[in-house]
């Protein structure tokens, strides 16, 4: 491995939500009686981070504080960054501007009340953002966003909207955005233009993700990955949840997490990369 591979850090972010928050579950015909599906993966994630001296960012659906506040408190006490993944995990584009603002403001306030941290980072459910997104983020006290996936268009899903792969001022993404706000795009395979992370770890395998991380690092771009706790558990079968949701969830993803963290990067919180944004600009 070349030394250049380890000159940039990597980010492992966790979109902290339960299976019941996912659009796939919410739109399915069936239901499950199992509560907080995904919760049992959180100790696994925390142990894997601790064993490799890694710090992570947990973009958290703040609604889960009502049911399981201790989950978020434990994570924050361990020294990881808490960011917002909205209050209820609804798609922002399906809400009014006032409701969007409320999702951003409420989640930030509630997360700060249990963590004693300043909550400055945000990730949108399903990477679904609107024209007023950056303006609303600034108005509600955020400093960075990580809701851009600079991938090719994937029909019926997302993509094709952005090509910025480096951490930049949000104004580089949207000229009307506040310049002080940072956008931290999620990792995409150079040249191929498909995402490296989330579902794509399970579709293409962890070796694909690790190769993509190396290619980004060689370009001086910190790879920003994300996973969901519910991907690391054996999901209950629910009528109407698409088959793709079940592909390689459970043991495969628990191993994948450890493989990724064993790679020779310093894994840092997303806000650390945001603070060092100028280091990773177009050189």
Q: Which residues bind Zn ion (CB under 5 A)?
A: 15, 17, 125
Least distance in angstroms from the C-beta of 190 to Zn ion: 25
Q: Cβ atoms within 10 A of the Cβ of 82, count?
A: 26
Pairing of the two strands 224-227 and 144-145? unpaired
CB of 15 to Zn ion, least distance (A): 4
3-state secondary structure of 276: coil
* Cβ nearer to Zn ion, comparing 8 with 61: 61
Beta bridge partners of 183: 145, 168
Q: Which residues of 84-122 are buried (b: 16+ CB within 10 A; e: fewer)?
A: bbbbebbebeebeeeebbbbbbbbbebbbebbeeebbbb
- The least distance separating Zn ion from the CB of residue 127, rounded to whole angstroms, comes to 9
Closest approach of Zn ion to the CB of residue 85, in Å: 6
Q: Which is nearer to Zn ion, 231 or 263 (CB)?
A: 231
Choice between 83 and 223, CB closer to Zn ion = 83
CA distance readout (Å), 183 to 93, 154, 166, 226? 19, 21, 8, 15
| Cβ-based nearer residue to Zn ion, 17 or 183 | 17
Contacts of 40 (CB under 8 A, 6+ apart): 233
Cβ nearer to Zn ion, comparing 25 with 144: 25
Provide, rounded to whole angstroms, the least separation between the CB of residue 89 and Zn ion: 6
Q: What does the alpha-carbon distance between residue 209 and residue 213 come to, in Å, rounded to a whole number?
A: 6
């Amino acid at each position: 491995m070349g030394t250049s591979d380890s000159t940039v850090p990597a980010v492992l972010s966790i979109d902290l939500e339960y299976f019941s928050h996912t659009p796939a579950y919410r739109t399915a015909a069936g239901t499950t009686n199992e509560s907080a599906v995904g919760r049992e993966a959180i100790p696994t994630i925390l142990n894997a981070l601790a064993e490799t001296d890694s710090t992570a960012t947990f973009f958290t659906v703040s609604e889960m504080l009502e049911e399981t506040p201790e989950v978020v408190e434990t994570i924050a006490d361990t020294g990881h960054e808490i960011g917002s993944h909205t209050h209820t995990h609804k798609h922002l584009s399906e809400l009014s501007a006032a409701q969007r603002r409320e999702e951003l403001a409420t989640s930030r306030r509630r997360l700060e009340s249990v963590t004693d941290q300043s909550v400055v980072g945000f990730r949108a459910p399903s990477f679904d953002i609107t024209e007023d997104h950056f303006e609303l983020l600034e108005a509600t006290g955020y400093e960075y966003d990580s809701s851009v996936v600079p991938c090719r268009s994937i029909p019926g899903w997302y993509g094709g909207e952005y090509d910025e792969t480096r951490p930049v001022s949000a104004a580089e993404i949207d000229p009307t955005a506040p310049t002080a706000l940072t956008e931290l795009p999620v990792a995409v395979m150079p040249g191929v233009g498909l995402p490296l992370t989330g579902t794509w770890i399970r579709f293409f395998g962890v070796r694909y993700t690790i190769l993509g991380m190396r290619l980004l690092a060689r370009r001086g771009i910190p790879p920003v990955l994300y996973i969901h706790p519910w991907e690391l558990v054996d999901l209950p079968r629910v009528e109407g949840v698409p088959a793709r949701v079940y592909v390689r969830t459970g043991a495969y993803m628990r191993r994948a997490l450890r493989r990724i963290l064993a790679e020779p990067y310093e894994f840092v919180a997303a806000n650390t990369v945001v603070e060092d944004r100028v280091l990773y600009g177009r050189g």
